[in-house]
């Protein structure tokens, strides 16, 4: 089987962590029936430096022709003052929007070996397996009007608009319910229906969708602020969380810390069945540690495992990589972000090598 993969390493630690996935790709090409043809391009700040824009049309065209896209991370202080619409982050939002990747799956799984790396007590996070389904192409990230207005006399007004339509809510809701059916059968829908009309609509549409087609799934509604608190208090109450773009961004960073580190959380952005999925770690370009060779590559390696499962139909191979990651953690190897007493501290490259060694074993 031949599959086309577009690699977008991006900025900061992005290139360092994508390097570790390149090793996995070589291993797969040498040892399995799957042949992955890769293409690669600058993206984010690196593309601003090379081409003047964070996402070129050519890159978008290459993305459309691929079976999947794997991204590192974008952004960094170097580009913090460039015009808003060509910031590195704008490139990321554009590729998500242009490919209509409306459902962002962000699993937070606590591996037994990492239980002491979590900032919560072991008994609270043990065995945890939550999936956040974040709406990714709507809401306040894209709503109009937006901008900064000059009101005169030194007074300015910053505007962003939270907007959701029935169909945007229903399509992401469907994804959440369908996945919940294959998991523990529970969906918690989070919004602020108490203060926002878009949240009220969200709650009404999710309720209607549930009654129409998914009454076998348990549905619970929760205000997003309460959800943030409950994630720390008793995270095991959650199975699938479905929420909007902004709340999903925040709740997934919070869920990351249950697992021990942002460096552990993978994600998949999916759209229509025939459109390529975009896979990326949940974390950013980590400018504070970039260039030091100490970043945790596991979120990216686990994103690649999701890619194999969802976009390349190679479920067994994806699971093999996940098992290799678990084995490496069980051996006590740790990058700095997940280091605990008695474990062995390793670099980005050493962690990647250990995963390959385990795969080959």
Contact residues toward Mn ion (CB under 5 A) are: 249
- Is residue 239 annotated as a catalytic residue, yes or no? no
Is 84 annotated in some ligand binding site?
yes
Nearest Cα residue to 326 out of 55, 137, 182, 112? 112
Q: What angle do CA 343, 344, 348 make, to 5 degrees?
A: 125
Q: Is 178 in the site for ligand IPM (CB under 6 A)?
A: no
- Is residue 253 annotated as a catalytic residue, yes or no? yes
DSSP secondary-structure letter at 76? Answer: -
- Buried b / exposed e over 4-43, threshold 16 CB at 10 Å, is bbbbbbbbbbbbbbbbbbebbbeebeeeeebebebeebbb
- Is residue 353 annotated as a catalytic residue, yes or no? no
- Is residue 141 annotated as a catalytic residue, yes or no? yes
- Is residue 4 annotated as a catalytic residue, yes or no? no
CB 133 within 8 A of CB 105: yes
Q: Which residues contact 73 (CB under 8 A, 6 or more apart)?
A: 10, 11, 12, 13, 14, 17, 44, 280, 281, 283, 284, 285, 286
Compute φ and ψ for 314, nearest 5 degrees.
-110, 70
Q: Is 254 in the site for ligand NAD (CB under 6 A)?
A: no
Greatest C-alpha distance within the chain: 69
Q: Is 7 in the site for ligand NAD (CB under 6 A)?
A: no
Site string for ligand NAD, 274-303 (x = CB under 6 A): ------x--xxxxxxx-----xx--x----
Rama region for 293: left / alpha / beta (φ>0; ψ in -120 to 50; rest): left
The interface partner of residue 318, options being ligand NAD, ligand IPM, Mn ion, none and the CB cut-off 5 to 8 Å by kind, is none
> Considering beta carbons, is residue 41 or 249 the nearer one to ligand IPM?
249
The interface partner of residue 286, options being ligand IPM, Mn ion, ligand NAD, none and the CB cut-off 5 to 8 Å by kind, is ligand NAD
> Considering beta carbons, is residue 299 or 354 the nearer one to ligand IPM?
299
The CB-of-349 to ligand NAD minimum distance in angstroms stands at 13
Active-site positions?
141, 192, 225, 249, 253
Would you list which residues are annotated within the binding site for substrate? 96, 106, 134, 225
Which stretches of the chain bind ligand NAD, using CB under 6 A?
13, 73-76, 89, 92, 262-263, 280, 283-289, 295-296, 299, 337
Would you list which residues are annotated within the binding site? 76-89, 96, 106, 134, 225, 249, 253, 284-296
């Amino acid at each position: 089987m031949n599959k086309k993969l577009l690699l977008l390493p991006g900025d900061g630690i992005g290139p360092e962590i994508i390097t570790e996935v390149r090793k996995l790709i070589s291993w797969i090409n040498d040892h399995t029936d799957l042949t992955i043809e890769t293409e690669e391009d600058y993206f984010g700040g690196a593309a601003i430096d090379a081409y003047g824009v964070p996402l070129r049309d050519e890159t978008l065209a290459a993305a459309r022709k691929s079976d999947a896209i794997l991204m590192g991370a974008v952004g960094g202080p170097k580009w913090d003052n460039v015009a808003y619409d060509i910031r590195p982050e704008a490139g990321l939002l554009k590729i998500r929007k242009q490919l209509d990747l409306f459902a962002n799956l962000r699993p937070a799984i606590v591996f037994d070996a990492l239980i002491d790396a979590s900032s919560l007590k072991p008994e609270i996070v043990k065995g945890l397996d939550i999936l956040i389904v974040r709406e990714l192409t709507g809401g306040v990230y894209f709503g109009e009007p937006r901008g900064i207005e000059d009101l005169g006399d030194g007074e300015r007004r910053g505007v962003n608009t939270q907007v959701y339509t029935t169909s945007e809510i229903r399509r992401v809701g469907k994804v959440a319910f369908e996945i919940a059916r294959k998991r523990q059968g529970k969906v918690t829908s989070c919004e602020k229906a108490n203060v926002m009309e878009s949240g009220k609509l969200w709650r009404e549409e999710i309720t209607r969708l549930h009654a129409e087609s998914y009454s076998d799934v348990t549905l619970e509604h929760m205000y997003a602020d309460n959800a943030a608190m409950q994630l720390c208090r008793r995270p095991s109450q959650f199975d699938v969380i479905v929420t909007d773009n902004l709340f999903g961004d925040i709740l997934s960073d919070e869920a990351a810390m249950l697992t021990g580190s942002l460096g552990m959380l993978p994600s998949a952005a999916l759209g229509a069945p025939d459109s390529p999925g975009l896979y990326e770690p949940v974390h950013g370009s980590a400018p504070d540690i970039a260039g030091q060779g100490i970043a945790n590559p596991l979120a990216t390696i686990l994103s690649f495992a999701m890619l194999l499962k969802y976009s390349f139909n190679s479920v067994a191979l994806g699971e093999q990589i996940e098992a290799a990651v678990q084995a490496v953690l069980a051996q006590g190897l740790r990058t700095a972000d997940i280091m605990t007493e008695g474990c062995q501290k390793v670099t980005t490259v050493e962690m990647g090598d250990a995963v390959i060694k385990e795969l080959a074993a």
